Amino acid sequence: SSRSPFRLPFQQCPRQPDRQKADNLTAMLSDIPSETPPNNLAALAEDHYFSANPPPKDLEKHVALAREFINYHSAANRRLVLITSGGTTVPLEKQTVRFIDNFSAGTRGATSAEYFLEAGYAVLFLHRQFSLLPFSRHYSHATDCFLDFLREGPNGSVVARDEDSAKMLHVLRKYRDARDRNMLLLLPFVSISDYLHELRSVAQLMRPLGPRGLLYLAAAVSDFFVPPDRMSEHKIQSTNAADVFKRTGDANSRPAAEEEETFDNFDSSPSVPRSKRLVIDLDPVPKFLKNLVEGWSPQGMIVSFKLETDPTILVHKARYSLDRYQHHLVIGNLLSTRKWEVVFVSPGAPDRWIRVPFRKSGVASTAPALETEKDEPLDPKSLPEAEPE
Ligand code: PMT
């Protein structure tokens, strides 16, 4: 068959150059002596991932902006935080029409950025393109259109509605102050490989900051991806109509009935012809936290987030991550309660839960996952602490 490997169960894949490459890698890895230190293995995995997955087209431009920003604040002896925020996409095609995404709206990252600015940090905000941004988050992605916050003023002017103007002025002043003092740099990414390239480059640039550099990893990082050597160049087809044309060059040719209805023993869904199904085969995204902690930014303060949906494993997974990567803090959160409670897990300290009291009447304890934040930032000092239930 000349069908894309996406459509074929693994056993049916023709031995193509891309499979050959995967075999070469397997052979290379099996040649590695078993006593190879784990650090060397991590370096090999890093080399392989970053050479196989092309960098985003704006990486050089972003690196130049980040270098200038970091040098500027380093010269002022200022603390600087890299915040990662929002979801990472997993493209299914090189010329991407379709991709897998996750739930993250970037609320945690954008809100945290405002608090870090308030605390005197310069903020390098590495965020998913079009996700929530510090300050503008109060007026975007909301159920209201931003125009709802405005009204016509005198002489054809546009002004904030009376009921919104006090808050808007407060947000505007903070935003202007951050911008005018060059305290906030926004760098966007889209896909998981864009994110990892950007993260590695910026983390390495932050090395000279030592412990004055904080990495606060709030992005929702995809765990699975399609490696480029298995990725279709063009839009994945939903029928095999183009195959016959490609084979024969005859625009009037049509697939034979038997070609439309191909089944075999490997079919997981034999009632649907294979030509109409899409089977996606994802590889695990390598975990680069070890590389980050030990190589990219070894002196930096590193805070990672752990997201789970099952409350019974959250703290265990957070503690496991801390033990494995030996960084400074893991903040655990559950998808359904992440807006008002988190658990801090740090070395040699008991788990510490932080809960935000409900401040809006009628907010149920299972708030919708994508509820948009429209609240004022809280004073962190005012937050009560509570023991886990
Ligand atoms: O944006 P919001 O809607 O406000 O949601 C906020 C949030 C829930 C996304 C945020 O609070 C959060 O939990 N972010 C981390 C989500 C995540 O990637 O969790 P994880 O359990 O899959 O990964 C844990 C850690 O491993 C993360 O720090 C991640 O950077 C890292 N990781 C993950 C995958 C991977 N391949 N390599 C990694 O290094």
Query: Is the distance from the beta carbon of residue 134 to the nearest atom of ligand 1 less than 6 Å?
Result: no
Atom 24 of ligand 1, residue of closest alpha carbon: 306
**Which SS3 state, helix, strand or coil, does residue 226 take?**
coil
152 phi/psi in degrees, rounded to 5: -75, 135
Atom 9 of ligand 1, residue of closest alpha carbon: 220
52-105 pLDDT, tens digit each: 999 999 999 999 999 999 999 999 999 999 999 999 999 999 999 999 999 999
- Ligand 1 centroid–CA 165 distance in Å is 35
Counting from 1 in the atom list of ligand 1, the atom nearest the Cα of 339 is 4
Query: Is the distance from the beta carbon of residue 302 to the nearest atom of ligand 1 less than 6 Å?
Result: no
Query: Is the distance from the beta carbon of residue 84 to the nearest atom of ligand 1 less than 6 Å?
Result: no
Global pTM reads: 0.83
163-189 pLDDT, tens digit each: 999 999 999 999 999 999 999 999 999
- Ligand 1 centroid–CA 387 distance in Å is 24
ipTM: 0.96
Residue with tokens 């060397």: 40
Residues 6+ apart with CB under 8 A from 54: 193, 228
**Which SS3 state, helix, strand or coil, does residue 307 take?**
strand
* Strand pairing category for 90-91 and 99-100: antiparallel
